[in-house]
Amino acid sequence: IKIAIPKENASGEKRVAMVPAVVPKLKKLGVDIKVQKGAGVATRIPDEAWGEDVSLTSGPAKTLSGADIVLRVGPPSIKEVEDLKPGTVLFSFVYANRNPDVVKALRDNKITCFAMELVPRTTRAQAMDALSSQAALAGYHGALLGATHLARILPMMTFAVGSIRPAKVLVMGAGVAGLQAIATARRLGAMVEGYDVRSAVKEQVESLGAKFVDTGVKAEGEGGYARELTDDEKAQVREVITKHIQASDVVITTAAIPGRPSPKLIDDEQIAGMKSGAVIIDLAAEGGGNTTATKPGESVEVGSVLIEAPLNIPSRLAEHASELYAKNLINFLGLIVTEEGELNLNWEDDIVAGSVLTHEGEIKHEASRQAVE
Ligand code: NAD
């Protein structure tokens, strides 16, 4: 089997789908590995670091030529898809609703694409769950951003002139990113509250030493994700949560609903009532953001409240993000490459069947098919 790792295309993307430390594991699968020259440079992996098990190639066309499996972080360009031979297996984040033309090209060129955002969120799939590995890093970074943008300190500190009370941090949306933001803010000494519409997370929030804000609204949806709230539920949440938002120094928001725009958890009126100098770190910017004032990718000041809405946070931690992603991919490859080094797509396997986006000229994932066709 020939495996190719091209350089990422998206501007600002610093991650790469493989790292030298994981190459020995890839080699153990009995594969030939081609890496495009410069693919790791943004991650601070110089070409010399790949070692003798990797052949370095110039440009995407030479890298992809003859490949049986392609490993990427972000989706390929349409030109790259057209350069692949039919039946090539591609691993990548795709987000079909944001990239319909790429999905059509994958379908039309008969590429077998496993979209990493579709990996089921089951216990067995944990080692392949790239959404989780990347979201955990984003949550950690979100707490650090909150700390550095605040003109206050997070922990209680005692000085000769007296003590400073710990800052209050509220984390809204306590999934993978939110729980990591809570853990990080706690380690930095803040008083932390967590809130989510999935009541199952209460215990997890409390186990991290934070208080759970109970709004009485429960909105567990399909596949362990949240569902959208009704207008009545939104009003009920607002009634409880407003005073918590307005008592906080830092609010970190992470709320998401798969395939839908980010729910708006904080409106202009609530922002206007926030403490002077408070900071909102909106980690849901990719889906449009969790506040009505969020500008994805930008930093805005509303009165004396700062709202930061960074995009592609895992790329800021490219070294560890790439390493974890590469390990997620290796574990997935272990499902589809036999000990004899042959490709074996077992459609009875729920992870293989659940993650496939396109195969043999069809869009196999139903929600993506509806979004694209
Ligand atoms: P996500 O990124 O889709 O959403 C982030 C959080 O926002 C979620 O906790 C969600 O409940 C919350 N949210 C949505 N709407 C909200 C609203 N209006 N107000 C407040 N919060 C809101 O979620 P995720 O972090 O990817 O996790 C999704 C699910 O997958 C969770 O149940 C998680 O525990 C589960 N999961 C399971 C495994 C496993 O078992 N292997 C691994 C990872 C994740």
Residue pLDDT, tens place only, 37-93: 999 999 999 999 999 999 999 999 999 999 999 999 999 999 999 999 999 999 999
pLDDT of residue 329: 98
pLDDT of residue 260: 85
User: Rounded mean pLDDT of 181-206?
Assistant: 96
Residue 190 pLDDT > 90: yes
The kind and range of the H/E element at 336 are: helix 318-336
pLDDT of residue 223: 76
Q: Which residue puts its alpha carbon closest to atom 8 of ligand 1?
A: 175
pTM of whole model > 0.90?
yes
End-to-end Cα separation, the chain, in angstroms: 32
Pocket of ligand 1 (CB under 6 A): 121-123, 126, 129, 131-132, 135, 172-178, 196-198, 224-226, 229, 254-258, 263, 265
User: Rounded mean pLDDT of 128-146?
Assistant: 98
The set of residues, in sequence order, having a beta carbon less than 8 Å from that of 51 and lying 6+ positions away, is 20, 23
Q: Which residue puts its alpha carbon closest to atom 27 of ligand 1?
A: 175
Tell me what the pLDDT averaged over the chain comes to: 96
Q: Is 112 helix (H, G, I), strand (E, B) or coil?
A: strand
Residue 148 pLDDT > 90: yes
Residue 339 pLDDT > 90: no
Q: How far is the CA of 231 from the centre of ligand 1 (A)?
A: 21
Across 116-130, 149-163, 216-230, 237-251, least confident range: 216-230
Cα–Cα–Cα angle for 259, 261, 262, nearest 5°? 115
Q: How far is the CA of 119 from the centre of ligand 1 (A)?
A: 14
Cα–Cα distance measured from residue 212 to residue 170, given in angstroms and rounded to the nearest whole number: 10
Q: Is 95 one of the catalytic residues?
A: no
Q: Is 121 one of the catalytic residues?
A: yes
- Model confidence at 199, pLDDT cuts 50, 70, 90, reads confident
Q: How far is the CA of 175 from the centre of ligand 1 (A)?
A: 4
Phi, psi of 362 (to 5 degrees): -130, 150
Which residue of 182, 197, 270 sits with most ligand 1 atoms within 8 Å of its CB, as the best mutation to test the pocket?
197
Which residue of 121, 124, 218 sits with most ligand 1 atoms within 8 Å of its CB, as the best mutation to test the pocket?
121
Cα–Cα distance measured from residue 305 to residue 178, given in angstroms and rounded to the nearest whole number: 21
| pLDDT tens profile 272-326 | 999 999 999 999 999 999 999 999 999 999 999 999 999 999 999 999 999 999 9
Judge whether 167 and 152 are in contact, CB under 8 Å: yes
